[in-house]
Amino acid sequence: MARDPRYDILFEPVAIGPVTARNRFYQVPHCCGMGHGYPSSNAAMRGVKAEGGWAVVCTEEVEIHPTSDISPYFEGRLWDERDIPTLARIAEAIKTHGALAGIELAHNGASNPCRFSRTPPYAPSSHAIFTSDPVQPRVMDKADIKAVRRWHRDAMLRARQAGYDLIYVYAAHDLSLFMHFLNRRTNHRSDEYGGSLENRVRLLREVLEDSKEAVGDSCAIALRFAVEELLGDDGITSAGEGREVVEMLAELPDLWDVNVSDWANDSVPSRFGREGAQEEHVSFVKAMTSKPVVGVGRFTSPDTMVSQIKRGVLDMIGAARPSIADPFLPRKIEEGRPEEIRECIGCNICVSGDFTQVPMRCTQNPTMGEEWRRGWHPERIAPKGSDSSVLVVGAGPAGLECARALGQRGYAVTLAEAGEELGGRVTRESRLPGLAEWARVRDYRVGRLNEMANVEIYRASRLTAETVAELGAAQVVIATGAKWRRDGMGRRHRKPIPGSEAEHVVAPDAVIDGMTPDGPVLVYDDDHYYMGAILAEKLRRDGHEVCLVTPAADVSTWTHNTMEQARTQTLLLELGVEIVAQHALVAIAPGEVELACVFTGRTTRRACAAVVPVTARIAEDGLYHDLMADSSALDAAGVRGVTRIGDCLAPGTIAAAVHGGHHYARTLDAPEDEDRPFEREVPALSADWPRSVSA
């Protein structure tokens, strides 16, 4: 299919100093939970993006020295020459597919507790470290400043040796040491590196000049800079010092990568930010420099991308999350297939990989993080291994992905859905406040299924064990989802809460589906992800008095891992939702509940007309057990296998459900070794082991 000529501008080459990008698609540096801990996975993931058409593919932050140690997070590491081979493998994987390999060198100063290296963190002035660690940074003297410049220059040379085409100087996200020098909040010096903005920019300018002198004839030098902190007069603003810094350094880097700070603002979840939300803050930059400008905005629409270029906002379309959701986004636009893009839903489940120190995953793209260890490709999948027909029961996220991937493999698939709508929990939850874009999980899969002649979809088809047998499929996949518990059992309570059988106790599913209880409502959140807070928000917007109670220290505490927690709690407070943290719901009575402090056990009573316990879910696996109860009937019907997937097997995130559906489709007729389901990188003893321990 030919490319739409409206999008031709996106495929023009862009000169970046001594190198040239083949188009305007630019995967900006982003963390992935792999870094130096899982380098083969990291290399394969970045290589797939290059194959997918991104003209520039960058690493995550890469530590330049033991004083820049970001442990326990798995970022890149380039402390000395021993780290070159690992990073060279990543560069090679990127360049194999014709993309430029970019590396983001980082020294994050007082943002690093240096837990592994056990060196004191560095800072321009005396202040607390930016983590909860009980340490404070050392105040840098002139010798320390010279050392940082030398370390950065040495890392530049090592990065060039590793094969990188584009090398970053990092001053963004309120993390970088260079930003700490630049910022009035963290720089209280009185020497030539403090005071005026010109002085506070001095170290950043010197490092840029050092970089150009060291490798500028062969590598492009990029500056990643946060032009806006969204802190008003207390921070850098695009109308104030952010603009002045760009003016001061306008022609020094070969490329400007501009964004807002901190990371939670830069990668704002879709619940709180629209596509292209950074434009108002970064649009001034291009007019102030002749160098190319790249920025991000969770761009998924090629029309929006073209608009950014034609209106002079950006020269290159930057992406982190959209490149995770669909590594082949550029290729699909180039080949005239934009409707096949797996659009990012902005859920930030990808971010949670970095915060929990594991390889990232993606709700839309179940192959993310599996490229090396399982050999999964986001676009290619092995053809069917048999002529087995497959019945998938349930068209939620697991069932839709399972049917889609099986259909792509060439199997004859029947997808049966009990209701009139496809999408299961995705469809229902996408009607809740802020979750509309999550419907993309359904829409992408339904769109692909509608193109497959080998997949039949039946709505309003609630199946029983008898009707499953009558359909005669060789393989039966049960993807019937899960329902929320009503009895309050969860992390805190291992048995039902007394009184939970009362009529005024409302299951979350009823509220999700539009039921509105009477009077003041108490939402009890022992789930700690998004649902408790969103139901509290919905009920409050519906006009109820709402109190949210949680045993945790704050609302939706797991969403610290998706960078939503602060915004979530702020929103609830602004809406007038009362929050009672560190208390458990222990009893329910007519018109009131009993709460207990999670530390002292001291109880209090609270009036309410309705209770919504958001605690845990129960798998809807009755059909599975009905089928398994009569193996002779299955044999007679020619059913060779019955399997549960997604929430029906183990209730979890939408990302987990999609992954479960994809996993089944990948491994049908090619089962994994249960003892070794995927490859892993095994640490090896050093060559000098054993090593004597000196006195």
CA atoms within 13 A on the CB side of 198: 1
Average pLDDT over residues 470-497: 96
Q: Is residue 463 part of a domain?
A: yes
CA distance 167 to 211: 9
User: Can you give the residue range of the structural domain that contains 394?
Assistant: 389-481+620-667
Question: At 398, which CATH number?
Answer: 3.40.50.720
Mapping DSSP to helix (H, G, I), strand (E, B) and coil, where does residue 389 land? strand
Phi first, then psi, for residue 316 (nearest 5°) are -135, 145
Give 300-307's long-range contacts (Cβ < 8 A, gap of 24+): 300/275, 300/325, 300/329, 300/341, 300/343, 300/344, 301/275, 302/4, 302/6, 302/7, 302/10, 302/333, 302/338, 303/6, 304/275, 304/276, 305/7, 305/10, 305/24, 306/6, 306/7, 306/9, 306/10
11 lies in the same domain as 23:
yes
Q: Is residue 678 part of a domain?
A: no
Average pLDDT over residues 92-113: 96
Mapping DSSP to helix (H, G, I), strand (E, B) and coil, where does residue 221 land? strand
207 lies in the same domain as 137:
yes
The answer to whether 378 and 367 are in contact (CB under 8 A) is yes
The answer to whether 407 and 384 are in contact (CB under 8 A) is no
CA distance 295 to 53: 18
465 lies in the same domain as 578:
no
Number of domains in the chain: 3
Q: Is residue 64 part of a domain?
A: yes
224 lies in the same domain as 106:
yes
Percent helix, strand, coil in the chain, to 5, is 35, 20, 45
Question: What is the chain's alpha carbon radius of gyration, rounded to the nearest angstrom?
Answer: 27
Q: Is residue 683 part of a domain?
A: no
403 lies in the same domain as 459:
yes
Extract the tokens encoding 564: 């939503």
- Sort residue 83 into left (φ over 0), alpha (ψ -120 to 50) or beta: alpha
Average pLDDT over residues 624-635: 94
The answer to whether 33 and 74 are in contact (CB under 8 A) is yes
Beta-strand pair 521-525/610-614 = parallel
Mapping DSSP to helix (H, G, I), strand (E, B) and coil, where does residue 7 land? helix
Residue 119: closest CA among 173, 178, 71: 71
Among candidate residues 617, 632, 651, the one where a domain is terminated: 617
pLDDT at 603 (0 to 100): 97
Q: Is residue 674 part of a domain?
A: no
CA distance 391 to 477: 6
* Burial (Cβ within 10 Å: 0-12, 13-18, ≥19) of residue 402: buried
Question: Is the confidence at residue 693, as pLDDT, over 80?
Answer: no
Q: Which positions are annotated as active-site residues?
A: 31, 170, 173, 266
Question: Is the confidence at residue 359, as pLDDT, over 90?
Answer: yes
Note the pLDDT tens digit of each residue in 153-202: 999 999 999 999 999 999 998 889 999 999 999 999 999 999 999 999 99
First to last CA, the chain: 72
Phi first, then psi, for residue 671 (nearest 5°) are -65, 145
459 lies in the same domain as 607:
no
pLDDT at 520 (0 to 100): 97
CA distance 491 to 550: 11
Among candidate residues 576, 593, 617, the one where a domain is terminated: 617
Question: At 557, which CATH number?
Answer: 3.50.50.60
Q: Is residue 383 part of a domain?
A: no
570 lies in the same domain as 464:
no
476 lies in the same domain as 507:
no
Q: Is residue 677 part of a domain?
A: no
59 lies in the same domain as 139:
yes
Note the pLDDT tens digit of each residue in 594-625: 999 999 999 999 999 999 999 999 999 999 99
pLDDT at 518 (0 to 100): 87
Note the pLDDT tens digit of each residue in 541-578: 999 999 999 999 999 999 999 999 999 999 999 999 99
Residues above pLDDT 90, as percent of the chain: 94
Note the pLDDT tens digit of each residue in 643-678: 999 999 999 999 999 999 999 999 999 888 888 999
Extract the tokens encoding 194: 């403090």
197 lies in the same domain as 342:
yes
Query: CA 107, 316, 101 angle in degrees (round to 5)?
Result: 50
The answer to whether 10 and 239 are in contact (CB under 8 A) is no
CA distance 274 to 559: 19
Question: Is the confidence at residue 108, as pLDDT, over 80?
Answer: yes
Q: Is residue 381 part of a domain?
A: no
Beta-strand pair 14-16/19-21 = antiparallel
Note the pLDDT tens digit of each residue in 375-389: 999 999 999 999 999
Note the pLDDT tens digit of each residue in 252-302: 999 999 999 999 999 999 999 999 999 999 999 999 999 999 999 999 999
506 lies in the same domain as 638:
no
Question: At 324, which CATH number?
Answer: 3.20.20.70
Using N-to-C axis directions, what is the helix angle for 142-161 and 84-95, rounded to 10°?
50
Mapping DSSP to helix (H, G, I), strand (E, B) and coil, where does residue 259 land? strand
Note the pLDDT tens digit of each residue in 205-251: 999 999 999 999 999 999 999 999 999 989 999 999 999 999 999 99
Extract the tokens encoding 670: 């090619």
Within 10 angstroms of residue 10's Cβ, the number of other Cβ atoms is 20
Confidence of residue 94 (pLDDT cuts 50, 70, 90): very high
Confidence of residue 344 (pLDDT cuts 50, 70, 90): very high
Using N-to-C axis directions, what is the helix angle for 654-667 and 397-409, rounded to 10°?
30
254 lies in the same domain as 343:
yes
Whole-prediction pTM: 0.96
pLDDT at 695 (0 to 100): 63
Residue 16 β-bridge partners: 19
CA distance 40 to 91: 12
Phi first, then psi, for residue 221 (nearest 5°) are -110, 120
